[in-house]
Amino acid sequence: MADTGRQAHWENVYATKGENQVSWFQQTPAPSLELIELVGAAGSSAIIDIGGGASRLADCLVAKGYEDVTVLDLSAAALAAARARMGDKAGRVTWIAADVTAWEPSQSYDVWHDRAAFHFLTDPTDQAAYVVRLSRALRLGGHAIIGTFASDGPERCSGLVVSRYDANSLAATLGQGFELIDSRRHEHTTPWGATQKFQFSTFRRQPD
Ligand SMILES: C[S@@+](CC[C@H](N)C(=O)[O-])C[C@H]1O[C@@H](n2cnc3c(N)ncnc32)[C@H](O)[C@@H]1O
């Protein structure tokens, strides 16, 4: 999908649907919080949520005392919804409206988190651009936690075709700069009771 089509798609989703009218809604992003703790993130760790949308992960991280939290998303409407929900606490988060495949990071991060954004990049050129940004943004020794639909998960989300992964195929897509250190499957229940199979893989950034 072209960049403009991609952005228009997501702006329309967030402009027309409430928080719990989207399949990916989670009241509490428990698997992500568990994995961020597992990689040893400290209160001062720089954490970025890629394609964070209107997720409650930022709220939870701020509530847990994480002081350097960034949310990046293609949709300004999604970020506005998250900011409005967080009220005064939104000021403790850095908000970036950008397409991750074209973004130029201006700082380095200890933790890169992505739940259900990378899998929308089905074109190898976009996937490679994502990995370039990941490599630039994540410090050596930092961790990338990437959740996608599992290889036996749904083929589409939000009307768009996705790329599905297991830990090995995701590791192969990221390339040799990322050591796989953990992988687990997760069954997400949508607000209307359907089950979606996800995989969450954690990688440590190492020299290429
Ligand atoms: C299925 S939603 C998941 C949102 C959030 N991570 C969560 O778990 O609730 C996918 C998100 O990825 C964002 N997204 C899709 N493609 C993107 C891109 N190329 N760059 C940045 N964000 C993107 C969308 O705007 C949307 O918010």
Q: What is the pLDDT of residues 129-181, one digit of tens each?
A: 999 999 999 999 999 999 999 999 999 999 999 999 999 999 999 999 999 99
**37 touches 99 (CB < 8 A):** no
Report whether residue 198 contacts ligand 1, using a CB cutoff of 6 Å: no
Answer whether 101 contacts ligand 1 (Cβ < 6 A).
yes
pLDDT for the residue numbered 197 = 98
Nearest CA to ligand 1 atom 16: 117
Evaluate: CB of 51 within 6 angstroms of ligand 1.
Answer: yes
CB 157 within 8 A of CB 116: yes
Residue 207 is predicted with a pLDDT of 82
| The model scores a pTM over 0.85 | yes
Q: C-alpha 7: how far from its chain's center?
A: 16
Q: Which residues of the chain have pLDDT under 50?
A: none
Q: Is the Cβ atom of 52 under 6 angstroms away from ligand 1?
A: yes
Output the pLDDT for position 60: 98
List of residues 6+ apart from 145 with CB closer than 8 A: 32, 35, 36, 39, 111, 112, 113, 114, 200, 201, 202, 203
Cα 67 to Cα 61: distance, rounded to the nearest angstrom: 8
**DSSP for 52-119, written as a single string:** -TT-SHHHHHHHTT--EEEEEES-HHHHHHHHHHHGGGGGGEEEEE--TTT---SS-EEEEEEESSGG
Top mutation candidate among 49, 60, 71, 120 for ligand 1, by most atoms within 8 Å of CB: 120
Length of the chain counted residue by residue = 208
How open is the CA angle 86-63-26, to the nearest 5 degrees? 65
pLDDT recorded at residue 208: 76
Q: 100: Cβ below 6 Å to ligand 1? A: yes
Amino acid 2: pLDDT: 61
Q: Is the CB of 73 under 6 A from ligand 1?
A: yes
> Average pLDDT, whole number, for the chain?
97
3-state secondary structure of 23: coil
